[in-house]
Amino acid sequence: MSRNISIPGAIDAAAAMPSSALEADGITKSFRDRKTEVKVLDGLSLTVQPGQFASIIGPSGSGKSTLFHIIGGLLKPDAGAIRMNGSDVTGQKGRIAYMPQQPALFPWRTALDNVLLPRELSGMPKEQARDEARILMERAGLSGFENAYPDTLSGGMQQRTAFLRTLMSPQEVMCLDEPFSALDALTRTDMQHWLLDMWEADRRSVLMITHHIEEALLLSDVVYVMSNRPAAILQKIEVPFARPRSEALLHQPAFLALKQEISDRMRNELRKS
């Protein structure tokens, strides 16, 4: 119902406006599994403005990770385009700082070397990166584990390492696929606030997938609610709360009401399937 309909001439209007950091426009994608064809994404559109924090909430299996694979150029959409700063980057790799849903750390690299990988890939100087990485690791509660191999780290520590690897990526737009899902509630809250502080300090553009409505509302400027498969955006919610945000926000009536509203909408959507 609130699906974006592309109107001829809309592109010209967009060109005149300051262009968005990331834009998915009418992304459609089907997977062929032997004979059956499963339509996963159906004309999904969303935008992330420069310096904006956007979240995607959606049912499991609705195609959120698939959308990230398309944004990252790993998959080609059947229809639609990905644009960054106004230029078409559909199918181009290396444009986003990506955090996969599984940590996908390299087991032969120490935690520190894993965090340094994106800098190596972009051929940036190592020494400065090393210092930066150490500071980040300390902040993420990983000091003392710089030289540990991933299989000796707990699931939560692995996820934090993967998160830092994404932070170290030089690309401006970060795409985080459920970055804190493996963390216990306390660590999760701590990491959320850290991300919040850090993001409010340097304002990279972020697109984050989460199942956690509270997390989405706390961190984001805008929340996209995704429908069941075949997925499109059901609703775009502008989060009105002022920044800098703090823990106290979680108990404000307005926050709770918004959380309830999204939760109801998602329950409705799940019931439909």
Partner 1 sequence: MRMWWKDVWPPVVAVLLFLGAWQAAVYMFHIEDWILPSPAGIAREAASGAQGLPGHTLATLRLTLTGFVIGTAVGFIIALILHMLPGLKTALYPLLVVSQNVPTIALAPLLMIWFGFGMLPKIIVITLVCFFPVAVAAMDGLARTDRTMMNYMQMAGAGRWQTFSKLELPHALPSLFSGLRIAATYSVMGAVIGEWIGSDRGIGYYMMLQKSAYRTDRVFVAIVIVVLLSLLMVGLITLLEKRLIRWNAKSREVSR
Ligand X SMILES: Nc1ncnc2c1ncn2[C@@H]1O[C@H](COP(=O)(O)OP(=O)(O)OP(=O)(O)O)[C@@H](O)[C@H]1O
Torsion sign over Cα 119, 123, 128, 130:
positive
Q: Is 33 in the site for ligand X (CB under 6 A)?
A: yes
Q: Which one of ligand X, Mg ion, partner 1, none is in contact with 31 (Cβ closer than 5 to 8 A by kind)? A: ligand X
CB 54 within 8 A of CB 46: yes
- Interface with ligand X, residue 273, by CB under 6 A: no
The answer to whether 40 contacts ligand X (rule: CB under 6 A) is: yes
Show the binding pattern over residues 87-116: x = contacts ligand X (CB under 6 A), - = does not.
--------------x---------------
Q: Token pair for residue 71?
A: 């944004």
User: Which residues are bridge partners to 98 per DSSP?
Assistant: 175
Neighbours of 86 (CB within 10 A): 13
> What distance in Å separates the CA atoms of residue 142 and residue 136, rounded to the nearest whole number?
9
Which lies closer to partner 1 via its Cβ, residue 120 or residue 197?
120
Q: Residue 99: name the closest of 188, 21, 171, 27 by CA.
A: 171
Q: Helix (H, G, I), strand (E, B), or coil: what is residue 37?
A: strand
Which of 11, 121, 254, 256 is in the footprint of partner 1 by CB under 8 A?
A: 121
HSE-CB at 142 with a 13 A cutoff on CA atoms is 32
Residue 95 near partner 1 by CB under 8 A: yes
Q: Which does 60 bind (CB under 5 to 8 A by kind): Mg ion, ligand X, partner 1, none?
A: ligand X
Name which of ligand X, partner 1, Mg ion, none residue 61 binds, using a CB cut-off of 5 to 8 Å depending on partner kind: ligand X
Q: Of 82, 87, 53, 49, which Cα lies nearest the Cα of 66?
A: 82
Give the residue carrying structure tokens 């699906």.
3
Which residues from 136-195 bind ligand X, rule CB under 6 A? none
48 or 137: whose CB is closer to ligand X? 48
- Are 270 and 228 a contacting pair, CB within 8 Å? yes
Q: Which of residues 61, 86, 155, 170 is near ligand X by CB under 6 A?
A: 61
Interface with partner 1, residue 204, by CB under 8 A: no
Q: Assign residue 224 a region: left if phi > 0, alpha if psi is -120 to 50, beta otherwise?
A: beta
**Is position 125 an interface residue for partner 1 (rule: CB under 8 A)?**
no
By CB under 6 A, residue 64 contacts ligand X: yes
Kindly list the residues in this chain that would bind partner 1 in the complex (CB under 8 A).
Answer: 69, 72-74, 93-96, 98, 100, 102, 104, 106-109, 117-118, 120-122, 149, 151-152, 169
Kindly list the residues in this chain that would bind ligand X in the complex (CB under 6 A).
Answer: 31, 33, 40, 58, 60-66, 101
